[in-house]
Chains A and B, each alone.
Chain A
């Protein structure tokens, strides 16, 4: 079966930077821990007043299409994977779905498919998995996965509501706004493509993190049992990664980089250190959360784009992507990167 590939990507980050110090200084209740030191998040991008999920997604798509050889009317499916789905302020849209608005705005063909996928921070990778399967089965030739993630409203709620030094809303202060898009098609060669991709939902832990409207203030809140999630992942990641390493006959040394979901640098490094027994040498760990925070469903593509821009990731390199999301969703992907941001 032929591989699919990432044909091009596009990332948009709002201009305004907000530091962790600024956030902590504006709170009545100081955390019991040094949030910046614990998570590694120094700063994050914050949406402008006129920006929402829809506009962040459009900005990302525009950048992606500049990097792509495809025009909007050549795209067979658009999948929008935002968690928050805000359009026109704090309105979260249910019907029509965000991809419907985006499809029309882009002038895509009327017979092109569109749907939204909701799967917490695994949203974009769920889209990648779905599109990979759809291209392989022949139902579409290509497709666009996008997420405009206007997630800082949960930080605004946390700033108002945290009243306990170990409050479940502290993780809400680590997030940042972004938009990311990836266009996928069938790979023209063995030199680039999604080599394998597996995602699984360990549903016993589905109540460890809830994002929902606040019951105290207008707005949306996220309640995270961060310690429980970390403990659950630490206990299962080595086993899960070991299983995939064996199944696909790979080890850490086969990869130039690993891009984990961007939760906390300390948590990422301690979790991956435990995986050395099953994975061998751990490849270079890519993080961008110091500047962009946890951008939720877009995180892997924000990091990928950032490290390509900085010249750390080069075309032809093989990257191990690790997915972690509420659900709990765990996932692993091996992707050989082509020229994603240059003109085709």
Chain B
């Protein structure tokens, strides 16, 4: 029994504030699920880029406030509280956040966990140097107690980074000494020429290792990172997934760019549009990004 996705939401036409996009996606997601904000015990923001380069408080706490969630401590309902924080690990942040939320849910520490993702340039504008598409995404997780769901949900998970002596093929940062008084509205984005090749190598190696370790489970769809047109397809074609009719969920062309931390949710969202009844499908979520690091997780819907 693993954590199940109760609802997802994706926001694509809401401007360039990471906080606003995640807030709207979070609210849409709860509305779809028919869940009140107060029922969410854990809120994790897995977006990397921060409006105005805010270092504190957590971006999650600002999204939580904008969602009218856990605003204050109420003596008459002291157990109805929300805890929120940011998880940061490039494109792998969402799957790291699912690993964390899954632990909280399995331990019975919370009933619902909401993960929000999405990136935007710190200036909150459509900045030409920003390498990702500004979207907001949200996924609401819970643990189903229904007998029919016994073999459903997330798990197992896998994670791997590249060799210790290899540098990350993406480096993004804010150099405050160089930015002068414009530090809130700037970022620096460096990508090595081989980053797509190197990410694919790591991505494929992890998937092959995962499939071998778990006796080649059936995978109907590969959902997640799509770094350039055809990337996700190429991961399917060059990994052991080619031995089965796994379908790669194309995102890059659909969204006109890399949806980065939001990619796994965006792909799941897309799947729900394309497949009338996703029940019984076996999905492999994957992510690859800076570090370099790659993550994957099986999900049985």
Q: What is the interface of chain A, defined by CB distance below 8 A to chain B?
A: 1, 83-85, 87, 89-97, 99-100, 103-105, 107-108, 110-111, 113-122, 126, 129-130, 133-134, 136-137, 139, 153, 199-204, 206-207, 209-220, 222, 236, 239-240, 243, 247, 325-330
Contact = CB atoms under 8 A, between A and B. Distances in A.
A72 to B, nearest CB: 10
Given A111-B160, A214-B183, A117 B86 contact: yes
B175 interface: yes
A116 B55 CA distance: 13
Which applies to chain B's interface (DSSP): helix, strand, loop or mixed?
mixed
Contacts of B26: none
Contacts of A236: 72-73
B83 A213 contact: no
A120 B60 CA distance: 11
Contacts of A92: 53, 55, 173-174, 176
A218 B103 contact: no
Contacts of A220: 55, 176, 183
B75 interface: yes
Nearest to A1: B107
B51 to A, nearest CB: 9
A125 to B, nearest CB: 10
Interface stretch (B8-16, B63-71, B134-142, B263-271): B63-71
Contacts of B174: 91-92, 94, 213
Contacts of A129: 83
B56 interface: yes
A137 B106 contact: yes
Contacts, number: 246
Given A96-B90, A115-B89, A137 B103 contact: yes
Contacts of B158: 111
Contact of B184 (A99, A104, A126, A213): A213
B170 A95 contact: yes
Contacts of A133: 100, 103-104, 107, 109
B281 interface: no
B257 interface: no
A136 B60 CA distance: 24
A153 B48 CA distance: 22
B72 A202 contact: yes
A215 B173 contact: no
Given A95-B90, A95-B289, A133-B103, A203 B73 contact: no
Contact of B55 (A84, A89, A204, A328): A84
Contact of B96 (A113, A126, A216): A113
A326 B56 contact: yes
A210 B57 contact: yes
B118 interface: no
Given A95-B90, A96-B90, A115-B87, A83 B55 contact: yes
Among A1, A99, A139, chain B packs the most CB atoms within 10 A around the CB of: A139
B161 A213 contact: no
Among A104, A105, A122, chain B packs the most CB atoms within 10 A around the CB of: A104
A120 B289 contact: no
A73 B301 CA distance: 35
A139 to B, nearest CB: 6
Interface string B173-194: 1111111110110010000000
B208 interface: no
B102 A139 contact: yes
A117 B84 CA distance: 11
Nearest to B260: A95
B61 A329 contact: yes
A47 to B, nearest CB: 15
Contacts of B252: none
B110 to A, nearest CB: 10
A211 to B, nearest CB: 4
A210 B52 CA distance: 11
B64 A201 contact: yes
B53 A202 contact: no
Nearest to B295: A113
Contact of A94 (B48, B85, B178, B292): B48
A209 B75 CA distance: 25
A91 B56 contact: no
A201 B73 CA distance: 9
Contacts of B93: 115
A212 B293 CA distance: 28
Interface in B1-24: none
A110 B165 CA distance: 11
A218 B293 contact: no
Among B56, B87, B160, chain A packs the most CB atoms within 10 A around the CB of: B56
Contact of B177 (A117, A200, A204, A218): A218
Contacts of A108: 164
A216 B181 CA distance: 5
Interface in B140-173: 157-165, 168, 170-173
Contacts of B104: 133
B85 A117 contact: yes
A204 B72 contact: yes
Given A206-B57, A212-B53, A212-B184, A136 B107 contact: yes
A213 B176 contact: yes
A271 to B, nearest CB: 15
B266 to A, nearest CB: 19
A100 B83 contact: no
A202 B100 contact: no
B61 A201 contact: yes
B220 to A, nearest CB: 25
Contacts of A97: 88-90, 290-291
A205 to B, nearest CB: 8
Contact of A93 (B163, B173, B181): B173
Contacts of B187: 94
B161 A100 contact: yes
Contact of B83 (A99, A201, A212): A201
Among A94, A117, A130, A204, chain B packs the most CB atoms within 10 A around the CB of: A94
